[in-house]
Structure 1
């Protein structure tokens, strides 16, 4: 779990148990309180709390000290809906009694993914409902179950929220497929009918258009509406007039915002005249197109709904969430909900006599999903991918309290027993079962030690004999493994042994694993576990079975991996009253806690006094892996040998320290497993050379390289400037260069500039990072680019706009096309790629669009040159579908250009599509 989620979870845990008066009397939790509880620095805790405020999950109370409250719990306890535009206040008790402040939440903000996968859809919906005078009619596209009806409801709620329609305005929903085989009945439902209009019409009946007057009408599966019905509907859209079946003339009036929804390609199923009257098309992504975090949030949300229905707390194993979001062959939220309801129903049935808590393990998965989960080779990798977002178990309460990642039971025997049995029944090899269990233990121990604030007072609940025994076991492990364990490990082992000996039905042991594999792979840990066995049996007078020795062996392996990593310590020493402190503070705020200390040296100190202060500071550091000293002057660097001699500590010194060097060092210590020598060499190679070049008076530069040195290079220059804008105060020039002349130009550029990185279509092979054009367009090159100028990476970078892709296409075609107009052809081909995307029901990457446009343009040019390509590779069956799509969609383009592509050229285009 990431640090920000730990802080948020701790805040939730504190305030979920509080009453309404506690919120009004105490001004929130302070950063200091949370830091002490989580064993974090106050600065890091404050940093994460302010991020949570900006994310609108936490409210800041500007008291002394500053307090923080989780908005989710605040809304529940005070029974209000908070205005999320307000991030901080001075006095909550005064504030909540103002009626004007008890505002409703923006319905779109409450949707999972509103700021990510659904961000564009939300923006389009807002623009549509606000468009004067009465909003734009909308068409929602997306696969079955992706949430189109849900999204339409949110549009309705948002319209009320913004007072665009009345609070009691109607929302009518109609599925056109229900009456598909009876067009007359379908139209009568939409527009109503008069008595005698058809057989069975015994009285006048108002239709949905009439009932939705002043509100919103959702027409689902609109592709099932007959052409006659579409014509009647677009007449109503144009004139706000309609007639019931059996009436003459269009005398009735209604003002209705229409939202249509379909799973089909609207161009193939709806009249063009009808589509022109639905100007806003909104794509709702399938579940498998949404981010991992969103899928997990949706899964938890759906489990929470079921927990409320059965009024039980669910304890969900990580593999259940893993299977739900990864192994099921579906792409919609509706199917996910069905699976979750089935899992919860089975779990409820198996735990009928459990009044409070129900455990949900992999044994509750539907048979087909369990089979997919057990046979997948990617499960271990997937568990590791989601472990930052969920713990080994997730607890979901039935109340509004929300989600709690902490599982209070330390003993996971039952979970593992059940998992081993299922894997054995599925015929999984013993070695793979061993790896599954070891992974579970890794996650379990990591979740417990890293994600939980340990309260050492809990040790008083452990039997004193067990407590004393664990101290001896700690000594045995440290002596034989050559490592040191802190109190967290002692606490964990003590609670684990206490749970084991209190456990009922001790004869229900773990299924037998391949003991030989475990003992050979982890022989040292197995030897220590056998020593544990002797000590436990001697101390407690009990027999410890061999399988428990194996279990303890695996625990030792897991616990070793979560022992605090010994890092290189860093000492920043500069002259002045606060220079070093400021540098270190910036680095820690940006990159998180690290073993780094600042030492500010007053200018009036003598060299001997400086030496003694540095020596004293080094002696207080953790020096097992050495100390890296960052200093501002050469006189301090010259003390290195004398300091090593006096302290006995290995020291490396880097002079001319700057804030960017400190940032680089902290980043490498936190995220790269390097020794002292490795960090020193890395900084000297990657960063200090830059400082030395700067000293030689050369300006910093980034090279933008393309074929001509114009068009594409200029577009890249704009993109590079966008990445670096407002990121650094240093001046960095962006120089455009032709790849055709790069070798002649490079010596002069190296002499004139300090080149930090190169970007573009050709790698000049000089000793600096190179970012390809593809990486820059897709956004992955931003990280390399920012690191090249010594900046921390920001995940939320700007995304390249389609206009950039268009310019790049035009530039490439303008350079190479001879006969065809590159500007006209680019527009035609980009429109064609949009049609392709609709046909294959996916969104293309910018790189794929670029490839398709350029490749297809050259294909048409080859037709004119009578030099079309011949496809000589063996035919592959998987090419059939993409070839059919390419052939069908490119017909209109061939007609406009009066050029026909050969079948072989179309196969090559299908290859481009298939390879992506």
Structure 2
């Protein structure tokens, strides 16, 4: 079919004038038509939304409209964020040929099921999959819950005489919805009989009116169902099977903070337009609405805002502006006339930040995160047209964050920094704007971020847990807060210090005031009511100790009585050193806090002069304050020392190697909490040993190749790990073989053999397994002795695969040259054949 001239003009413009202004004369010349005819076509295309028109100049200029048609789902808050996959599924049900797919929307009352259903209908109109005159028919099945026959009549229509009062044939809602959408709300109230009638319609597009037994009616209807109940218990299985698409809308309380803010602004804006007045909302009221739980979800929130606006409108004589909230010293205006286009442009530019470029591998993760912080800030504050940092939405979000975290910061003695607040608020907004793929990319990078200071971690976790974000974004926000705490609060000491006292707020008061005087976060407080049980408080402290890293030790300041006896109750849950001081006072807390800020070790407090404070000091030395490897051999410390010497040559200097008596280690493992081994990388022993949660390596299994030193890879490079294992193999081979050699020095000959084995590994690019290495040590040391006394193997047998053996023979002669010189021997070809046989399964 020949294209219409209008379509040809549009195609030419798209292909050749997409980025240029043009006039009717330009088109007239190109298509050899009159200028007024060209103008007619261009004005038609303008009316269709295909072109933009500038009639403020002469001649009138046109331009191709590159904007995508507006997506009606953009009205649904979260459509491009947390609910993107849900909306995509809705679109798929509309576009699926030939007549879409039935859809059921689940969710509690007030989450927006009806609103979403209306948007699905609008989307079908916009995409022209239904005619412009197609209807959206709504039936609430709950209205007919006690009268299924009446619902059947409403849905399917009825014949004259079908029931009392049926005076004429009447069409039902299905007839009205023909070619369009039927939305059945509260569909769980649909009777089994009506469900069966509906799935007949879904299968064959036919149904019968109530009272009709012969004639069929036909309708092409798209179905949307909604329910607050479990469809598996309220709907027939045969009916459920005919509804392939299912979505669930979340409660308001499960929405992200930024989405809640958008909902609040949207509803306030709607009311401002309805009453044609500017609305001032106090920060206090806005924060309350943001934090409030609404059982009726978004619907209840909308109604509450309507009521607040109605009260404000009634109580204000100047109807051009109304005020919401009691405290009006801080807040923001909602203006019905302000466009949000600039904000949308800003959010788009923010979402297009090139994350891959920011997180290049050649810079550290901290540097990359700093660059991301700078970039977000630049995008938010860098535009002269739209400054997000001055926007009502950001002010509201920032004040929400202040309200949540200021009590936490206040108790630590730290200052709540404006930059810190802004960075948290901006990031909450940022992770809500970017795509899920971008969030996943960021998370993969953020997981590389490390923080050693456990007190900083504790503070970051407390801040994070006070903020409400979607579950899918929680880890990302936590990593960001860890980064910000490390950046802004660098002086937080690493040692954990607790003040534990009788009284409802006594410990909290001293901890808070001391932290403020020291100007940093030193003390955590535990208050014990006078009537409270000491055992309950000890359980609380033990749980706290288990949740933190006590590698650097723990300082406890207590007041009197029963609390002084907690030493034995908690020391098993502390990995590092533990010191307990009684008779706590503000002066004592300040003195100890100063020492902690000066990074004094826990042992220092045991040596301090506390005479002026009249305190008693209890001190317990912990297992280790560093990452450690424990060596424990049943045969005694002699072998353990040799193992330690080998490990020390290859392990990172930061790793401490501890030697324990085997029975003593068993006692510690049995009696103490396993948290005491929290810093232990692994245990090496000559006997089977078990500690819950700790890798216990049996040296015999290591030598036999049944276990590896993989656990130590983090603390030594791969080559060192291999050399270390080889030395351990050699150590135990020497111990076992020294009695078997008749006159050679086992240690020396094994060192010489080790060099030969290294040459084979390098040449053939293999790793000789431990058990084979032991076999070779024993065989080759014995071979050297045999040759030296004239008992070498001289018989030669032609090996299969002679070419492989010839190569092996040539390199072997070279590899053994040093041994031949040292021991003044010549190795017969038969011995090489035997070595080849031993190697054969590993190398060839």
Query: Is this a same-fold pair by TM over 0.5?
Result: no
TM-score by length of 2: 0.37
- TM-score normalised per structure 1: 0.34
Structure ID, larger Rg: 2
